[in-house]
Amino acid sequence: MKIGELLEELFDQNPYMAALITDNEGNLLYINKTYLKILNLSKEEALGRPIKEFTPQTRVTAVLRTGKAVVGYNWRVNGYNMIASCIPIYKDGKLNGAFAYSVFLDIWNAKNLVENLLNELNMYKDEVNELYRAKYSFDDIVGNNEKLKELKAFARQIASHGSTTVLISGESGTGKELFANAIHNSSNRSGLPFIRVNCAAIPENLLEAELFGYEEGAYTGAKKGGKPGKFELANGGTVFLDEIGEMSLTMQSKLLVVLQEQEIERVGGNRPIRTNVRVIAATNRDLEKMVEEKKFREDLYYRLNVVRLEMVPLRSRKEDIPVLVQHLICKLNKKLNVFIKDISEGALKLLSSYYWPGNVRELENVLERAMIMADMKHASILRSRYFAFLNNRCEFQAASGLKSLKTMTWEFEKEAISKVLQATRGDMSMAAKYLEIDLSTLYRKLKKYHIPAEFSPNQKKRS
Ligand SMILES: Nc1ncnc2c1ncn2[C@@H]1O[C@H](COP(=O)(O)OP(=O)(O)OP(=O)(O)O)[C@@H](O)[C@H]1O
Ligand SMILES: [Mg+2]
């Protein structure tokens, strides 16, 4: 079969396409069977007649007038709703006619296709959202300590400012991740992903791809079609950069650029991708000290430290231990599938006398251990004996006066600074001189040890 015949056959017999060809005056030279059927005409009635006679709104007229194609317009005729295109035909540089054809004979086909695609897309979006959901809200943050209540109130305010970067610092187990969850969940980003990246757990050479994704062929073993990074996946939501203090200086520079430009570039890619994410970073390291020691970029520090939440160590809010214990017993009852009802006064007293270097997480672990022991004895009240292991630790601490180096340093520094401030009647500059430290370091330590700035009634202002 010759190509001409083949083409005619293809056009004529194609039930999915309406097609016609006119001369340069708009008279029909060719019209296929499908279109004849739609127009309810026979070939004899149509050929040689101006197309305008059958479809007065035809784009053929405009195409012949301008010599330019009209592509992808909506074309309704006799109850059919098509997407069509009309292109001019040139011969030896002269406009010779027009070719009009439907891309979708019935737009409902197109609509179904788009709808199916959208459904599929939404299904994946839901899956991503489910996978990357923030588990905790502000209701899960327990405690009545003034400082903690202030922190919660402040964090709630921050949450409503959907794009503000937040830096959460504090010792291990003090609830940094809990706060990050709560901020996301009560922000207008809550329906979108919350993605945590543990900067300490991912090897440096993989962190960039993890955060920003990579393009196909970026390196050997790179997935076909590339892979989106966490910033792309979290679009519209929150990226929680945990343990940010462990990030290498090289990665710090790259992160800084992303935060400034609000654009990422996949590894091995060359097109910038706009991002809309809120960044919450957390660390248990002393970032200010790291900046002084040039281990953390100062510009990144300022970029992250827009809003700061400094967690309160458990030992500074021991009054919260009873409510926390009640809360954690409920939580652990579900997790361990046990039925512990309460805790005895004696056991609570014991818990309150401990120093809690691992903060709420350590409290949770200690309770878990005690609850398992109590359950094994079919007891429903946690008594001191189930905390014997802790008792030993406390007694050991108290009786021998032996404490961990961290504890001793903590207590000694706090005491020393308080004493000097008392002696200088709250004069910060003088205190800093006595202690032979920078004024900025002194302020940092006041914050760390929760020594109030209004320490002395005669406090002099910083000059
Ligand atoms: N105020 C609180 N109320 C209730 N639970 C808390 C509170 N603070 C911490 N927790 C619980 O203690 C555990 C540790 O909290 P989280 O993981 O948020 O600490 P973190 O500061 O991120 O610790 P790390 O630095 O070790 O990662 C979690 O199970 C958390 O739910
Ligand atoms: Mg954490």
Mark which of 344, 365, 400 sits at the end of a domain. Answer: 400
* Beta-carbon count within 10 A of 126 CB: 10
- Say whether both 26 and 166 belong to one domain: no
What's the rounded mean pLDDT across residues 59-76?
92
The torsion angles phi and psi of 318, rounded to 5 degrees, stand at -65, -25
Take residue 209 and report the two structure tokens written for it.
């791809």
Q: Residue 315 domain-assigned?
A: no
Q: Residue 125 domain-assigned?
A: no
- Say whether both 32 and 10 belong to one domain: yes
Whole-number Å distance, alpha carbon 395 to ligand 2 midpoint, is 30
pLDDT of residue 456: 42
Mark which of 271, 288, 310 sits at the end of a domain. Answer: 310
How crowded is the C-beta side of 417, counted as CA atoms within 13 Å? Answer: 26
- Say whether both 101 and 250 belong to one domain: no
What are the distances in angstroms from CA 447 to CA 314, 420, 434, 441? 15, 16, 19, 10
Report which protein residue has its CA nearest ligand 1's atom 24.
172
- Say whether both 161 and 218 belong to one domain: yes
Extract the runs of DSSP E, i.e. beta strands, from 159-207.
166-169, 194-198
Say if CB 86 and CB 60 are below 8 A apart: yes
pLDDT tens-place string over residues 79-133: 888 889 999 999 999 999 999 998 777 776 677 778 888 888 887 877 777 778 8
Pocket around ligand 1 at a 6 A CB cut-off: 140-143, 170, 172-178, 284, 324, 327, 360-361, 364
* Beta-carbon count within 10 A of 243 CB: 18
- Say whether both 64 and 168 belong to one domain: no
- Say whether both 286 and 140 belong to one domain: yes
pLDDT of residue 138: 94
Say if CB 386 and CB 368 are below 8 A apart: no
pLDDT tens-place string over residues 311-345: 999 999 999 999 999 999 999 999 999 999 999 99
Q: Is 379 left (phi over 0), alpha (psi -120 to 50) or beta?
A: beta
- Say whether both 144 and 271 belong to one domain: yes
Report which protein residue has its CA nearest ligand 1's atom 9.
175
Rounded to the nearest integer, the mean pLDDT of the chain is: 88
What's the rounded mean pLDDT across residues 40-61?
94
Say if CB 20 and CB 53 are below 8 A apart: no
Alpha carbon distance 109, 115 (integer Å): 10
Strands 342-343 and 307-310: unpaired
pLDDT of residue 190: 92
- Say whether both 415 and 379 belong to one domain: no
Q: Residue 463 domain-assigned?
A: no
Whole-number Å distance, alpha carbon 160 to ligand 2 midpoint, is 22
Whole-number Å distance, alpha carbon 177 to ligand 2 midpoint, is 5
Q: Residue 275 domain-assigned?
A: yes
- Say whether both 164 and 264 belong to one domain: yes
> Mutate which of 138, 142, 178 to test ligand 1's pocket (most atoms within 8 Å of Cβ)?
178
Give 77's strand partners: 80
- Say whether both 283 and 364 belong to one domain: no
Q: Which amino acid appears at position 90 of this protein? A: Y
Q: Residue 127 domain-assigned?
A: no
> Mutate which of 174, 286, 318, 330 to test ligand 1's pocket (most atoms within 8 Å of Cβ)?
174
Alpha carbon distance 212, 271 (integer Å): 12
Q: What CATH number does residue 142 fall under? A: 3.40.50.300
Which residue range forms the structural domain that includes residue 417?
405-448
- Say whether both 235 and 382 belong to one domain: no
Say if CB 217 and CB 209 are below 8 A apart: no
Count of domains observed in the chain: 4
Alpha carbon distance 49, 4 (integer Å): 23
Ligand showing the shortest atom-to-Cα distance for residue 177: 1
* Beta-carbon count within 10 A of 299 CB: 13
Give 2's strand partners: none
What are the distances in angstroms from CA 52 to CA 57, 82, 115, 360, 391? 7, 18, 34, 81, 97
Report which protein residue has its CA nearest ligand 1's atom 16.
175
SS3 content of the chain, % helix, strand, coil (to 5): 50, 15, 35
Mark which of 310, 341, 370 sits at the end of a domain. Answer: 310
Q: What CATH number does residue 67 fall under? A: 3.30.450.20
Q: What CATH number does residue 330 fall under? A: 1.10.8.60
- Say whether both 20 and 146 belong to one domain: no
Say if pTM beats, i.e. exceeds, 0.85: no
Q: Residue 66 domain-assigned?
A: yes
